[in-house]
Amino acid sequence: MPARALTRRLAAGITAPMVIYKIFRAPEAEAFDRDKTSRGAPVDLSDGYIHFSTRAQLEQTLAKHFAQETGLVLLALEADGLGPELKWEPSRGGQLFPHLYRPLEIADVLWSAPIEDGPGGHVLPARAGTDAGGDAAQTSASARNGESG
């Protein structure tokens, strides 16, 4: 995490570790469970690093890259535990996104859970809203539909 972001988190009284997220399609998640390691999805292999999102970035990532997909799995990881190979780099709209420049290991994962397919779109696991720095565990589609999470 950049020192600037860490300073802002500490100034805001956030001392818990930051959790970041990886979205896998079912076959990718199955291979990861079987092999205990992964270099990521095809886009990760192409880009040379594994893409992650913060909790605040998850809905937009789902909408942009997984809108019509079902059977998705959400992995939660502690950013600080990934070591110096985790880089925060500008991407969509200049936002800093976490990118991992090494294989993902099963031991890196705090927890994983399916992303449900709701009538208004993807529904994140409730647990995603309880992680450090997380917000309500509802998708933007659910929010637009007036549903609560």
Instruction: Give pTM, 2 decimals.
Output: 0.78
pLDDT beneath 70, residues of the chain: 1-16, 130-149
pLDDT of residue 11: 57
Query: What is the DSSP secondary structure assignment for residue 69, as one 8-state letter?
Result: -
- Helix H or strand E encompassing 10: helix 3-11
pLDDT of residue 94: 86
**Token pair of 140, please?**
């933007």
Count up the domains in the chain and report the number: 1
On whether residue 18 sits in a domain, the answer given is yes
The end-to-end CA distance of the chain, in Å, is 29
* Contacts with 29 (C-beta within 8 Å, 6 or more apart), sequence order: 73, 75, 112
On whether residue 147 sits in a domain, the answer given is no
On whether residue 78 sits in a domain, the answer given is yes
CATH value at residue 121: 3.20.170.20
pLDDT of residue 16: 65
Q: Domain containing 108: what range?
A: 3-138
pLDDT of residue 120: 83
Q: Is the dihedral of CA 129, 74, 40, 58 positive or negative?
A: negative
